[in-house]
Amino acid sequence: MSDNPEFLEISDDDIKVAFKEIRTYIDISPEDFKIIYVHALNHARARSLNVTVDKVMTKNVISITKELSIKDAIQLLSENEISCLPVVDKNNAVAGIVTHKDVIAATGIVKNHTLRDIVRHLTGVPTPHQNTVYAKTVEDIMSSPAIAILSDTDIKDAAHKLIEMRINSLPVVDKDNKLVGVISTKDIVNHTGGMQL
């Protein structure tokens, strides 16, 4: 059983002990109290899920421009231990996104390559079926247009979008398409504590 109070279940014995500790008369039965408690807990859980993306998202986002080299993008992903980099224009509007998958695809690796082949390629050793034309800049490999989500979107809708698109994160934008954050499956799980959305 988890030590997180959100996941602890209250037993009948817990309620009886709590009633004895209060030492004053309470005009409610332990059974009625448990019913009220369960309803209150369910309302509290529902309230915690009724929150918008801007309250849960990661706000200090590392973004890049399309002119950046792929090597620099890889370095940023690796050094910051992140899975995506939103690509923005000079006005901070989201133009695309670069993910680990985009980087791997840019290496020329095909489906039947092994992890060893990928490592060999990334270290400069030729691999079979290697593409002859290599992308040089972020613009060459980014997914564009990026699938983004508005900052006032409900986190339930964001979670469904992440699942539907089979992705781990989404750039978060304001009404002018300017980058304000990133929402990830990790952000949502951390907020909800694993509760069902």
Q: Are residues 98 and 158 in the same domain?
A: yes
Domain contains 197: no
d(Cα 152, Cα 76) in Å, to the nearest integer? 28
Task: Supply the range of the domain harboring residue 74.
Answer: 54-192
Structural domains in the chain (count): 2
List 170's β-bridge partners, or say none. 183
In which element (H, E) is residue 94 found? strand 94-99
- pLDDT tens per residue across span 36-74: 787 777 767 666 667 899 998 999 999 999 999 888 988
Please indicate whether residue 186 or residue 193 has the higher confidence score (pLDDT). 186
CATH number at residue 138: 3.10.580.10
The pLDDT of residue 166: 86
Domain contains 113: yes
Q: Residue range 174-184: average pLDDT?
A: 93
Domain contains 139: yes
Q: Are residues 29 and 111 in the same domain?
A: no
User: What mean pLDDT, rounded, does the chain reach?
Assistant: 79
pLDDT over 90 at 106, yes or no: no
Supply the angle between the helices 155-165 and 185-192 in degrees, to the nearest 10. Answer: 140
Q: Residue range 170-185: average pLDDT?
A: 93
Report the predicted TM-score, pTM, of the whole model to 2 decimal places: 0.64
Of all residues in the chain, what percent carry a pLDDT higher than 70?
A: 75
Q: Are residues 39 and 68 in the same domain?
A: no
Sequence-distant (6+) residues with CB within 8 A of 150 are 53, 172, 173, 174, 175
Q: Are residues 30 and 127 in the same domain?
A: no
Q: β-pairing, 149-150 with 169-173?
A: parallel
Q: Are residues 90 and 160 in the same domain?
A: yes
Q: Are residues 45 and 71 in the same domain?
A: no
Q: Are residues 59 and 101 in the same domain?
A: yes
pLDDT band at 137 (very low <50, low <70, confident <90, very high): confident
The pLDDT of residue 30: 80
Q: Is 193 helix (H, G, I), strand (E, B) or coil?
A: coil
Domain contains 27: yes
φ/ψ bin of 22: left (φ > 0), alpha (ψ from -120 to 50), beta (otherwise): alpha
Query: What is the identity of the amino acid at 155?
Result: I
d(Cα 166, Cα 106) in Å, to the nearest integer? 20
Q: Are residues 42 and 71 in the same domain?
A: no
115, 107 Cβ separation under 8 angstroms: no
Q: Are residues 164 and 95 in the same domain?
A: yes
Q: Are residues 62 and 130 in the same domain?
A: yes
